[in-house]
Structure 1
Amino acid sequence: MSLPTVVFLDRSTIPSHIEFPHLPFDHQWVEYDTTEPDQIVERLSQAQIVITNKVVLDRRTLSHLPNLELIAVCATGFNNIDIEYCQQAGIAVANVRGYASQSVPEHVIAMMFALRRNLIGYHQDIAAGEWQRKQQFCFFTHPIGDIAGATFGVIGSGELGQATATLAKALGMNVIFAERKGAAQCREGHLSFERVLMLSDVLSLHCPLNEQTHHLIGAKELSQMKPNSILINTGRGGLVDEIALVHALRKQQIGGAGVDVFSQEPADESNPLIAHCELSNLLLTPHVAWGSDSSIQKLANILMDNIRAYVEGEQQNRVV
């Protein structure tokens, strides 16, 4: 491949202070902060390599890009790419793995502490003047739960699930892993999906989003959880039925929820979680669990090395 053109479609998804290593071959580099669907084909018409984080590259779009050879996904998840078409068309796809194994688990644990100890509720009470009205050195309007000794359920036993479990164990929690929903038998070290729902004081989602896991947690599953349990989703928004989750929180069927990912991103006021963000038992963050500076720099390094590896004929982090 002579003087390939590399196009980054959504550079603004990576903080501007993060530096991308230089590619060790001659190339043309073009980057855009954001790219709308109707701009993709024009921007990639001459590109051999595209970098995308969340821009969707579906069959219809890819069919208009005969020069494209590599899709370098600037993330682990690749559900925004039509993998089947890429296989048929001979387009290579590489993703970035293992970069957030510290950042995501720490974010989960931070959410867990905030919700388990009802920090949001107490902050809101102080802002509303509750402390002033009580005229006491402290007040208790929300339950405060301990972390040590609580049961931490993990759905998804890959790298992030395992890393989060390691932190939970270090805090003195009892960690259990869920078998795939509907599985006839449990793998060693796993409990049935339903049993993990029932036993967990904190349930953390770390599985991929696909047809089998869409709305993995819905009204039925939420009703099986403990009334004081906490659900944390740093996986993918579609794993949880957001309407059902809001209903469960409002009816206090579960104790709280920490959500970093949404069914559509960016989420707006039409999203039920955003519409009810005032709930004291709901903690929202804008898909940043992965985003510590060290993790993003590691991502950038791996991303560029994936491109180097492809150009030099190596198979590295390849999905296709």
Structure 2
Amino acid sequence: MQAVFLDQQTFSDTISFDAIKAEVSELVCYPTTPAEQVISRCQHAEIIITNKVVLDQNILTQLPKLKLICIAATGYNNIDINAAKELGIAVTNVSGYAGQSVAQYVFAQILNYYQNIQSHNNNTKQGLWQKSATFCLHGNAITELAGKTLAIIGYGNLGKAVENIAKAFAMKVMISERPSASTIRDGRTSFHEAIKKADIISLHCPQTPETENLINADVLLEMKSTAMLINTARGALVNSEDLLHALKNKHIAFAALDVLEQEPPANEHPLLQANLDNLVISAHIAWASSEAQQRLITLLANNIAAFNNQQSLNRLDLLD
């Protein structure tokens, strides 16, 4: 079967696609694909692999040879699943590939903040330790994670991976209930209680109408003034203007963001223009360890192999 990968550039150059090539007769890869070129590039494809390229009803109806869409991600809001189902096109996604990568990123940010690594390194680079009257130069305070309260919002594979590391640091972990929940499940804490008590809040929930602007002005005011917010989920979970105001006015202490509402963001995005000492932003790379990327490619290959063998692995079009 002929396969087309529409946005190969969403993966690092070092990642091997051999596992996919072994399952198809031909694999054509494009670094990126603008909307106006999707149909021409996919006219003869039986399999489309896409990470973020949109495949809507209008596009799908113009691709009569298409049999399988492989989403190179867990989220599938870029695919019209209902249209695919009506046209008899199978749709698969992947999950469970980035737990360790995201958890490592979360704790890299936590440790960098509480350990003040960069500040202490700069003290030595600037010759301050060399001039110290004692054997150590204390500089900015170092704070232990043991006993700190971490609130996890979104308790899937990623949230659980973060929880496992937190427990190794002897942290207290609260699993937040959904904000709109009328009852609290065993092992969960109400959303607002988690927000109020957390020293660190880590977001891992999907973007839905319920979770958009989940972290807004009211919620930020509920947080401790010493709290740290980490978002590795979706940018739209956090209201950027409200977060900017909270950081400027020290309503919370620090934020580490790996995602923004639009990606790539515009240069004039308010958080990118803020130049704040209590904000760090990375380019949606928490998921992207080399190992996680390679696992994802293997999962894509497994989905294609299953389809070729008339098996229904990770089929979104078969869900109710």
Give the TM-score of the pair, scaled to structure 1. Answer: 0.90
Q: CA deviation at 1:26?
A: 5.2
1:210 equivalent in alignment to 2:208: yes
Q: CA deviation at 1:204?
A: 0.5
Check conservation: 2:225, 2:250, Cα contact below 8 A.
yes
The aligned amino acid for 2:269 is N
Structure 1 residues 13, 25: CA separation in 2 closer, same or farther (over 3 Å shift)? closer
The aligned counterpart of 1:73 is 71
- Larger mean Cα displacement after TM superposition, 113-122 or 288-297: 113-122
The aligned counterpart of 2:4 is 7
SS in 2 for 1:191: coil
The aligned counterpart of 1:49 is 47
SS in 2 for 1:297: helix
The aligned counterpart of 1:260 is 258
CA–CA distance in 2 between the matches of 1:153 and 1:5? 46
CA–CA distance in 1 between the matches of 2:123 and 2:42? 52
1:93-108 paired onto structure 2 within 5 Å: 93-108=91-106
Structure 1 residues 22, 183: CA separation in 2 closer, same or farther (over 3 Å shift)? closer
Q: CA deviation at 1:313?
A: 0.7
Alpha carbon RMSD of aligned pairs, Å?
Answer: 2.3
Structure 1 residues 22, 139: CA separation in 2 closer, same or farther (over 3 Å shift)? closer
SS in 1 for 2:150: strand
Structure 1 alignment gaps of length 5 or more: none
Q: CA deviation at 1:56?
A: 1.9
CA–CA distance in 1 between the matches of 2:22 and 2:10? 24
SS in 1 for 2:77: coil
- Larger mean Cα displacement after TM superposition, 103-112 or 143-152: 143-152
Check conservation: 1:6, 1:47, Cα contact below 8 A.
yes
Check conservation: 2:2, 2:24, Cα contact below 8 A.
no
The aligned counterpart of 2:114 is 116
SS in 2 for 1:109: helix
The aligned amino acid for 2:263 is E
The aligned counterpart of 1:287 is 284
- Larger mean Cα displacement after TM superposition, 196-205 or 241-250: 241-250
SS in 2 for 1:272: coil
Structure 1 residues 181, 119: CA separation in 2 closer, same or farther (over 3 Å shift)? same
CA–CA distance in 2 between the matches of 1:224 and 1:280? 22
The aligned amino acid for 2:203 is L
Q: CA deviation at 1:135?
A: 8.2
Structure 1 residues 88, 285: CA separation in 2 closer, same or farther (over 3 Å shift)? same
Q: CA deviation at 1:60?
A: 3.2
Check conservation: 2:20, 2:300, Cα contact below 8 A.
no
CA–CA distance in 2 between the matches of 1:66 and 1:243? 45
Check conservation: 1:11, 1:31, Cα contact below 8 A.
yes
The aligned amino acid for 1:208 is P
1:58 equivalent in alignment to 2:88: no
The aligned counterpart of 1:16 is 13
The aligned amino acid for 1:41 is I
Structure 2 residue corresponding to 1:82, chosen from 80, 85, 93:
80
CA–CA distance in 2 between the matches of 1:183 and 1:291? 33
Structure 1 residues 66, 125: CA separation in 2 closer, same or farther (over 3 Å shift)? farther
CA–CA distance in 2 between the matches of 1:130 and 1:184? 57
SS in 2 for 1:258: strand
Deviation by residue 1:38-88 (Cα, 9 ceiling, x = unmatched)? 111111122121101111223333333233221101112222222233233
Structure 1 residues 182, 25: CA separation in 2 closer, same or farther (over 3 Å shift)? closer
CA–CA distance in 1 between the matches of 2:167 and 2:29? 42
Check conservation: 2:70, 2:300, Cα contact below 8 A.
yes
The aligned counterpart of 1:302 is 299
Structure 1 residues 150, 314: CA separation in 2 closer, same or farther (over 3 Å shift)? same
Check conservation: 1:116, 1:145, Cα contact below 8 A.
yes
Q: CA deviation at 1:318?
A: 1.8
The aligned counterpart of 1:312 is 309
CA–CA distance in 2 between the matches of 1:146 and 1:218? 29
The aligned amino acid for 1:31 is C
SS in 2 for 1:99: coil
Structure 1 residues 144, 216: CA separation in 2 closer, same or farther (over 3 Å shift)? same
Structure 1 residues 26, 298: CA separation in 2 closer, same or farther (over 3 Å shift)? closer
Structure 2 alignment gaps of length 5 or more: none
Deviation by residue 1:211-263 (Cα, 9 ceiling, x = unmatched)? 12111111111111110101111111111111211111111111111111111
CA–CA distance in 2 between the matches of 1:139 and 1:159? 38
- Larger mean Cα displacement after TM superposition, 188-197 or 111-120: 111-120
Structure 1 residues 238, 130: CA separation in 2 closer, same or farther (over 3 Å shift)? farther
SS in 1 for 2:220: helix
1:166-185 paired onto structure 2 within 5 Å: 166-185=164-183
Give the TM-score of the pair, scaled to structure 2. Answer: 0.90
